[in-house]
């Protein structure tokens, strides 16, 4: 009471203190973010001045991720939704600028087409009904969830119509004329005959034309569009796994070994397993082929009631008791009739569990009197669509194929047995039609204990990782790792929105840290990821779009510069003006190539050479070209003949070919890329992802 009275007396003072603290926190946040705190929090992106709400964007990401299923990750869903939203905004902006509007007639026509096969919108003749559509819209006005879903569907239809309208406008300007078709025809069918000299670049060893870092950097700067990259960071890391020590393993083995005698004496094996094991008892027969490697060809020789083990399987220790042995067929064939609980689409009747059981028992009585009625009863009653056309029959199947009740009846019974069993699908009337290849099977009860690190081990790992972090911050990361017998693992070219780190897995925490404003190259930080401590060091950071580094671009630029240098060296050693003189100076021969086309510019013995073939078609017959720097070497050629293909009466096939290259999908994708490249996009996703 004294404390409460003291608080009451100082209530106003405490309120002032709390208020000042909150004000200071908010002011600090505004200062740190340049007065744009709320904007950054609420805006996922700004596209040509138009904002995309963070809340709406992430709601769509969540919805899409749920639709993808349990294995989808946020990064995958976010990228798909981002492309979709970006496309919608860009196309909508273009449509508004051009005055493209979607009228009610267009929308209704699209809905009539999209909903034509939906029974909810069909009249008694199975034809789409505008009246049914109006009725449906009226019926969902009081259902907020259904109305929202419908509104989103309509919005999607409108977006699709806008995109199609814009793309069709673009395509309408892409007219293919007879002249275009004729040009394509000649491009594919005109032929050139040449004689030429070819000096391959391989004549000069790579070592003779070294490429320096300075030359690579100069090339990058001269061709910035080819080498611009988004913000990237590089890290290196070491990891300390919370793995069991040898002492932990020995202790785990001893602990489970102490259960062996009690397990032997246990009368209720299922209860013993469920009470002592990390995994529940599995009531199943095991064929030798299905046993774990540690038990194959071994447990079959253990007597019923005996316990085998301890034995190790991955990160567990186990003991297994032989519960029973018997002979079971290797495979079985059977037929059945399935009567489900609930609605049966075969006879269009909905049944309770009791009614389904009564129906199954009634069918069983009929079949016991006359099995010849089986196929007709399958067609009349069975809801198993996969077997109705086969008279309910399932061909030879292995032990683990069917649900347990079905499996046990057909494998543990005898050929000719007829009965009713219940599964999660309903009631099955089953006849066992065949069994083959009997084998010895065993039923085992297994106590499994996962090998876990002890508290002492966990403390040791924590301590070692903390010591490493401290030493790495003060000294050389690689040297500290070497002293610990560790090898740092590099992860390069990490994007601001990446989710997966090789060797670490899906982890945004490290990526966000690396891109934080206060994180600098050389900084070290420890992260607790699942059962592992990861100590990471930032080795490179680029927070704005930049050009590739020399090392990154080297694999692209080096072959280009090396080819240029080789071409220059070869040209410097060439003497003479005629083909024969050039060939003699390079110790090669003059060759002939006939029927070259521009569509397939391939020269035998050299490969694809579009520039060389193009030069041939651009040179008059009898004329000789200058030296040409091709893809595979330096060429000089003389044109012997240009054989033009005869003109056609009709070029329709080539018109169709050219029009096919401008399909709606191709144009849509190309236009989207162009709009995206020209747009001003402020992407803030990384600030909240």
Residues of the chain with confidence (pLDDT) below 70:
1-41
| Integer Cα distance of 453 and 247 in angstroms | 9
Query: At residue 506, what are phi and psi to the nearest 5 degrees?
Result: -75, 110
Q: CB–CB of 333/433 below 8 Å?
A: yes
- Specify the length of the chain in residues: 689
| Integer Cα distance of 241 and 253 in angstroms | 21
Q: CB–CB of 440/434 below 8 Å?
A: no
Query: At residue 512, what are phi and psi to the nearest 5 degrees?
Result: -60, -40
Bridge partners, residue 427, by sequence? 339, 422
| Residue of 112, 107, 187, 194 whose CA lies nearest to 155 | 107
pLDDT of 121 reads 84
Q: What sign does the CA torsion over 434, 438, 439, 441 have?
A: positive
pLDDT of 611 reads 96
3-state secondary structure 289-320: HHCCCCCCCCHHHCCCCCEEEEEEECCEEEEE
pLDDT of 664 reads 78
Q: Cβ–Cβ contacts within 10 Å for residue 447, how many?
A: 28
410 secondary structure, DSSP code: H
Q: CB–CB of 335/379 below 8 Å?
A: no
| Integer Cα distance of 123 and 131 in angstroms | 9
Distance of CA 553 to the CA centre of its chain: 27
pLDDT of 41 reads 64
Bridge partners, residue 636, by sequence? 197
DSSP track, 605-656: TTEE-HHHHHHHHTS-TT-B---EE-SSEEEEEEEEEEEPPPPPS--HHHHH
Cis peptide before 310 (omega within 30 of 0): yes
Element (H, E) at 264: helix 260-265
pLDDT of 173 reads 82
What contacts 612, CB < 8 A, 6 or more positions away?
196, 601, 603, 628, 630, 635, 637
| Integer Cα distance of 256 and 268 in angstroms | 18
Structure-token pair, residue 420: 């009713």
pLDDT of 644 reads 95
| Residue of 19, 178, 397 whose CA lies nearest to 11 | 19
Structure-token pair, residue 634: 């330096």
pLDDT of 3 reads 34
122 secondary structure, DSSP code: B
Distance of CA 347 to the CA centre of its chain: 42
Instruction: Report the predicted TM-score, pTM, of the whole model to 2 decimal places.
Output: 0.63
């Amino acid at each position: 009471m004294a404390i409460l009275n003291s608080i009451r007396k100082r209530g106003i003072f405490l309120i002032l203190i709390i208020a000042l603290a909150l004000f200071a926190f908010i002011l600090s946040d505004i200062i740190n973010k340049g007065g744009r705190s709320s904007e950054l929090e609420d805006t996922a992106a700004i596209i040509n001045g138009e904002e995309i709400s963070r809340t709406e964007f992430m709601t769509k990401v969540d919805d899409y991720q749920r639709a993808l299923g349990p294995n989808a990750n946020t990064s995958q869903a976010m990228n798909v939704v981002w492309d979709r939203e970006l496309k919608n905004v860009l196309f909508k902006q273009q449509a508004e600028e051009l005055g493209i509007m979607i009228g009610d007639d267009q929308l209704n026509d699209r809905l009539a087409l999209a909903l034509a096969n939906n029974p909810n919108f069909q009249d008694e003749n199975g034809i789409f009904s505008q009246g049914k559509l109006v009725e449906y819209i009226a019926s969902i006005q009081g259902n907020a969830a259904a109305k929202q879903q419908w509104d989103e569907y309509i919005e999607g239809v409108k977006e699709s119509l806008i995109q199609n309208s814009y793309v069709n406008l673009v395509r309408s300007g892409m007219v293919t004329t007879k002249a275009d078709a004729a040009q394509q025809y000649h491009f594919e069918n005109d032929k050139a005959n040449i004689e030429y000299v070819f000096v391959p670049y391989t004549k000069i060893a790579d070592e003779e034309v070294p490429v320096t870092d300075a030359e690579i950097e100069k090339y990058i700067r001269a061709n910035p569009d080819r080498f611009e990259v988004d913000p990237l960071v590089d890290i290196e890391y070491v990891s300390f796994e919370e793995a069991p020590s040898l002492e932990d393993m020995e202790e785990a083995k001893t602990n489970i070994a102490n259960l062996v005698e009690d397990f032997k004496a246990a009368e209720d094996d299922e209860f013993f397993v469920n009470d002592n094991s990390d995994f529940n008892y599995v009531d199943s027969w095991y064929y030798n082929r299905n046993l774990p490697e540690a038990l194959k060809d071994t447990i079959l020789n253990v007597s019923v009631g005996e316990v085998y083990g301890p034995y190790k399987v991955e990160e567990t220790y186990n003991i297994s008791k032989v519960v029973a042995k018997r002979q079971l067929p290797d495979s079985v064939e059977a037929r059945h009739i399935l009567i489900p609980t609930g609605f049966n689409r075969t006879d269009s009747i909905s049944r309770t569990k009791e009614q389904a059981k009564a129906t199954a028992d009634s069918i069983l009585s009929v079949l016991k009197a006359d099995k010849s009625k089986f196929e007709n009863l399958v067609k009349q009653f069975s809801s198993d669509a996969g077997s109705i056309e086969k008279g309910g029959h399932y061909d030879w199947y292995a032990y683990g194929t069917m649900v347990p009740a079905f499996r046990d009846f057909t494998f543990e019974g005898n050929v000719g047995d007829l009965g009713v069993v219940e599964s999660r699908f309903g009631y099955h009337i089953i006849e066992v039609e065949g069994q083959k290849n009997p084998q010895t099977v065993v039923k085992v009860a297994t106590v499994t204990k996962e090998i876990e690190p002890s508290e002492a081990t966990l403390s040791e790992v924590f301590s070692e990782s903390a010591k490493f972090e401290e030493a790495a911050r003060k000294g050389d990361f690689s040297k500290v790792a070497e002293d610990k017998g560790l090898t740092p693992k590099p992860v390069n070219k990490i994007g601001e929105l990446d989710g997966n780190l090789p060797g670490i897995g899906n982890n945004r925490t490290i990526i966000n840290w690396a891109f934080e404003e206060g994180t600098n190259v050389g900084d070290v930080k420890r992260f607790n990821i699942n059962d592992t401590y990861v100590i990471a060091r930032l080795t490179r950071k680029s927070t704005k779009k930049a050009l590739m580094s020399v090392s990154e671009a080297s694999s692209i630029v080096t072959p280009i510069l090396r080819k240029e240098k080789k071409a220059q060296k070869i040209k410097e050693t060439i003497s003479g003006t005629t083909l024969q003189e050039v060939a003699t100076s390079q110790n090669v021969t003059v060759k002939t190539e006939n029927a070259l086309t521009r569509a397939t510019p391939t020269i035998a013995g050299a490969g694809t050479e579009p520039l060389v073939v193009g030069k041939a078609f651009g040179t008059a017959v009898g004329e000789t070209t200058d030296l040409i720097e091709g893809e595979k070497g330096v060429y000089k050629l003389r044109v012997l003949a240009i054989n033009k293909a005869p003109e056609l009466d009709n070029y329709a096939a080539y018109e169709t070919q050219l029009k096919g290259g401008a399909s709606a999908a191709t144009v849509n994708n190309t236009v989207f890329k162009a709009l995206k490249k020209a747009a001003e996009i402020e992407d803030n996703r990384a600030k909240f992802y």
